[in-house]
Chains A and B, each alone.
Chain A
Amino acid sequence: MHPVFITIIKRLGLGLVTLFVVSAIIFSSVSLLPGDFGEAVLGQAATEETVAAFREELGLDKPAVQRYFEWAGAILKGDLGTSFSGRSASGVDRSRSVAGMIAPRLKNTLFLAGVTAVIAVPLAIILGLSTALYRNSWYDRSINATTLTTISIPDFFIAYLLILVFASLWKVFPSLSTVDPSMLLGERLSRIALPTITLTLVIVAHMMRMTRAAIIGLLASPYIEMARLKGASRSEIILKHALPNAWAPIATVVAFNLAFLVVGVVVVEVVFVYPGIGQLMVDSVTSRDIPVVQACAMIFAGTYILLNLIADVIGIVTNPRLLHPR
């Protein structure tokens, strides 16, 4: 078999192993719960029977390994368990399925992250390439200073500043990004304008700086000097000589920052009260609704692992040493 496939399969295998271990960590966090947890969820008035029933439902009486495989198996079938909220001391169970709670919110989060990525990725790569090309110019210096500031300040500061200017003082956009399924695309886009701008500012700053660094590192290679001495023009050097070698570093930068976006979404959703899974996770942490927290953590971690996996695969398929073995 071609070595590229072997390397990709190995990398996929590693990704699966990571996912497995991560899921085991997220699962086993339940075992760290203090003993009186049943009372805490069900309330002070809970009887011993209802607590025992609750513990049984959680499966705390079964061996951990068996519980893990039941849990993981259910996740693979799309069953994320049931929420802790809605339970009461009397044993009445009005809890909802976690999958049902997450599904609409996941769509919203993907929409927000997707719109941001569509704007941020090309913008960051263009800025990164152009600042690398004209490095130490006035243009480069001002972009660098701006992005260094943007990555240093907390994202909620940017968010509130935008609200202050564009929603409070000058009513261009709504300050709350409440959306519902009946909304049309245009309405939705206007609602998420401010969170998208906030996320874009943060992501572009990181991604642009990393792209710039990667390209400058590449331009210092002896083969780039050789290309110059062979008479290649600036654009030829970038397009013919640097770019074919830059896919791997750029893919890594993009994946890293999209993963970063996944995290940034949490804070931004809370600021703008946007109904996504970031906000759901924070609410569930506050109310200690463990099954929901676990499911959200699993989704975030899975996305993160997947993005890094894609970046590595791009790196593998663009590596001439692997593509053309000796």
Chain B
Amino acid sequence: MSDPTQTPSGYAAAAEVGAVRKRRTWKERWWLALKKAPISAWFGMIVMLGYVIVALFAPLLAPHGEAEIFPTPYAVWDDTHILGTDQIGRDVMSRMVYGARNTMGIALVTTLLSFFIGGGLGLIAAINRSWLDQLLSRTTDVIMAIPSLIFALMLLSIFKPSVISLIFIIAVLDSTRVFRLTRSVAINVVVMDYVEAARLRGEKMSWIMRHEILPNIMPPMVAEFGLRFSFVFLTIAALSFLGVGIQPPTADWGSMVRENASLIQFAQYDLKAGITPLLPAAAIGLLTVAVNFVVDWFLHMTSGLRDEH
């Protein structure tokens, strides 16, 4: 060959085929994704939106006060008390509405705290990979060796049940799972050549964390947030149901199931009364199903993974 640096005729690097996507703004892309979303995801999003609206505007939507006591306990469903009253005469409908705010709010705060603790430590462990990683990982192993509901029950027998202790206990116990996930996802990113390239370039740790690692672990973390939220939500509901979670007079769905449970015996005489205790339980179930549907769709969309055909 005469001149080795001559490009072969008819070949141009810029003409090579790459899978170029159309330029779209952030809004357009979301709209497109939403348009393609399956019915289950739409259902989930609409349900979640409804719950959020109820939680935000609880005082406006509730017909009566959260702890307001009326003379008739276990009143039947009628115009004043759409869903009747409970064992001490509080309006069930109003408590359902306030329950949305309390139950969801507490679960949300707990999940956020759990991500703050578990996510932060997970990132540090993934980057550091030294004795600190060992220490954190082994601690997590031990905490996870005790079933979390059992651990929570034990701690609640020591610290008196209150909203604050509930939030802290569940957040700390749940943060072990967040820690594990964050650490494993982040480690997969840390070993990438582009992180090594950034280190070779002389970038600071904080820059690498913000620009190289965080953007790449966001999708699984967002999905995990949804899953952890529903798990935390169910755990708190279960604890409240067991009587050691959110304490009266604060309205919450878990304790409402417990308080009205005996009504179920009357189902054959008055079916409406019989299903009253099931309503808060159904409200819990509907929200977790909705969250799971949306998370499923989100995972499908971001991973690009599809089931084999």
Contact = CB atoms under 8 A, between A and B. Distances in A.
**Genuine A/B complex:** yes
A169 B268 contact: yes
A294 B309 CA distance: 51
Contact of B154 (A135, A148, A259, A293): A293
Contacts of B151: 297
B285 A154 contact: yes
A161 to B, nearest CB: 6
A29 B274 contact: no
Contacts of A152: 230, 285, 288-289, 291-292
Interface stretch (B54-62, B85-93, B210-218, B238-246): B238-246
A22 interface: yes
A136 interface: yes
Contacts of A267: 238, 241-242
A153 interface: yes
Contact of A160 (B234, B237, B277): B277
Interface SS of chain B: helix
A305 interface: yes
Contact of B234 (A154, A175, A289, A305): A154
A289 B158 CA distance: 9
Given A18-B145, A153-B284, A156-B281, A285 B292 contact: no
Nearest to B271: A169
Contact of A301 (B145, B244, B291): B145
Nearest to B143: A25
A282 B153 contact: yes
Contacts of A301: 145-147, 150
A26 interface: yes
Contacts of A266: 149-150, 153, 242
B155 interface: yes
A9 interface: no
A168 interface: yes
Contact of A297 (B143, B153, B254): B153
Contacts, number: 146
Contacts of B145: 18, 21-22, 301, 304-305, 308
A65 interface: no
A270 B254 CA distance: 13
B265 A168 contact: yes
Interface in B237-286: 237-238, 241-244, 254, 257, 261, 264-268, 271, 274-275, 277-278, 281-282, 284-285
Interface residues of B, number: 50
A144 to B, nearest CB: 10
A118 interface: no
B17 interface: no
A160 B147 contact: no
Interface in B283-307: 284-285, 288-289, 291-292, 296, 307
A251 B242 CA distance: 31
Nearest to A20: B142
A154 B281 contact: yes
Interface of A: 18, 21-22, 25-26, 29-30, 32-33, 135-136, 148-149, 152-157, 160-161, 163-164, 168-169, 175, 216, 220, 259, 262-263, 266-267, 270-271, 281-282, 284-286, 288-290, 293-294, 296-297, 300-301, 304-305, 308
6 contacts: A21-B145, A152-B230, A160-B278, A263-B148, A263-B150, A290-B157
Given A157-B285, A308-B145, 10 more contacts: A29-B155, A29-B158, A32-B158, A136-B309, A152-B288, A168-B267, A259-B147, A262-B147, A281-B153, A300-B150
